[in-house]
Amino acid sequence: MIIRDKPGLRELLFALRGSVLPVIAPSLAVVALVAAGLVALDRWVTAMPHVSAVPFTVFGVALSLFLGFRNNAAYDRWWEARRLWGGLVADTRALIREAEVFVEAEAERRALLAGQRQFLHGLRRALRGEAGEGPTPEAALQAMNRVLATARAEGRLDGFGARTLSGRLASITLAQAGCERIRATPLPYVYSLLIFRTSWLYCLLLPLALLDGPGWMAPVFVTIVAYVFFGLAEVTEELAHPFGATANALPLTAICRTCDIALAEALGEPVPPPLLPVDFRLD
C-alpha cells in the first residue's frame, strides 16, 4: 500500500510510485499513435469520416457510469478485506488478554499465542500465494483448539474461560473465511472484459470526432481521455485483488508485524520494530 502525504504540484505531475501510469503507458502510446495516424490520413492522404461528437458524449457518459459502478464494487472488496484484517488485529490483542485471565498454565498460554502467530503468517502466505515454512492457517487453528480442549478436559480451564476463548477462535475463523471468500471469488470476468473492450473502442474511435476542431491536438485530447478511462480501469483491477502484490494492495506483512509486536510483548520475547514504508510503499 502506498503511504504518502498530501501531494504537492510536483508530486501530482511527476510521482510514479503508486500510480498506474507505468502500467497503462503502452496503451496510451497506442491510442496516441492511432489518433495521430488518423489525423495524418485525413490531412494528407484521404478524407476520413468526420463524426459528430454527440454520440461520443452519450457513449462516454455511459462508460463513465459503468466504470464508476465497477470501481465501487472493487473498493468494497478492498475495504472489506481491510476490515477483516483489522478485526484479526483486534482478535489477537483480545486473545492475549483472555489467555492471561483464563489459561493458568504458562506452557499452554504460550502455545496458544504462538499458534496465533503461526495462523496469521500462514493466512498471509495463503492469501498471497507465497511459499514458506510453517503450518497452514487451518492447522494452526486446530492446534490452538486442541490446547483449549486439553486444558478444559484436565480441569485447568473452567467453562466460562473455555467458552470465551472458543468464541475468540470462532471470530478468527470467521475472518479467515471472509478473506478466503474474497480471494476465491473475483469480480465477474465479464465486467473486466466489457470495460476494457468498450474503453478501447471509445478511445480508438474518438479521433474521428476531433478531426474538424482540434486537428493535430486530437492525439493529446484522446490520450488524456484514455488516461482517465484506462487508469480508472487499472485502479479498479488492483483494488479488486486486495491481497495481491500490487502497490495498492493491503500491507499484510505490516499488519502481521503489528500483531507480532503484541504477541512478542506477551510472550516475553524481543519485540520486533514496526515495518515502515520503503520508497512510500508499505508491504
Q: Domain for residue 245, yes or no?
A: yes
- What is the DSSP-derived secondary structure letter of residue 216? G
CA dist 75 and 97 (Å) reads: 33
Q: Domain for residue 275, yes or no?
A: no
Q: Domain for residue 239, yes or no?
A: yes
The dihedral of CA 101, 269, 137, 151: what is its sign?
negative
Q: Domain for residue 282, yes or no?
A: no
Q: Per the structure, how many domains does the chain have?
A: 1
What is the pTM for the complete model shown?
A: 0.88
* pLDDT by residue, tens only, the chain of 283 residues: 767 666 666 666 566 666 788 889 999 999 999 999 999 988 888 878 888 878 888 888 888 888 888 889 999 999 999 999 999 999 999 999 999 999 989 999 999 999 999 999 999 999 999 887 888 999 999 999 999 999 999 999 999 999 999 999 999 999 999 999 999 998 888 878 888 888 999 999 999 888 887 778 889 999 999 999 999 888 888 899 999 888 889 999 999 999 999 999 999 999 999 988 887 677 8
Residue 27: per-residue pLDDT: 93
Residue 15: per-residue pLDDT: 64
CA dist 232 and 247 (Å) reads: 15
Q: Domain for residue 278, yes or no?
A: no
Domain enclosing residue 163, as ranges:
20-267
Taking CA 20 as the corner, what is the angle to CA 15 and CA 26, rounded to the nearest 5 degrees? 110
Q: Domain for residue 276, yes or no?
A: no
Q: Domain for residue 243, yes or no?
A: yes
Nearest to 252 by CA among 137, 96, 169: 137
Q: Look at residue 204 and give its three-state secondary structure.
A: helix
CA distances to 61, 62, 77, 130 from 68, rounded to whole Å, are: 11, 10, 14, 32
Residue 236 region by backbone torsions, left for phi larger than 0, else alpha for psi between -120 and 50, else beta: alpha
Question: Grid coordinates representing 215?
Answer: 486537428
Distance of CA 113 to the CA centre of its chain: 28
Q: How many CB atoms lie under 10 A from the CB of residue 259?
A: 22
Element at 101 (helix H, strand E): helix 54-102
Q: Domain for residue 38, yes or no?
A: yes
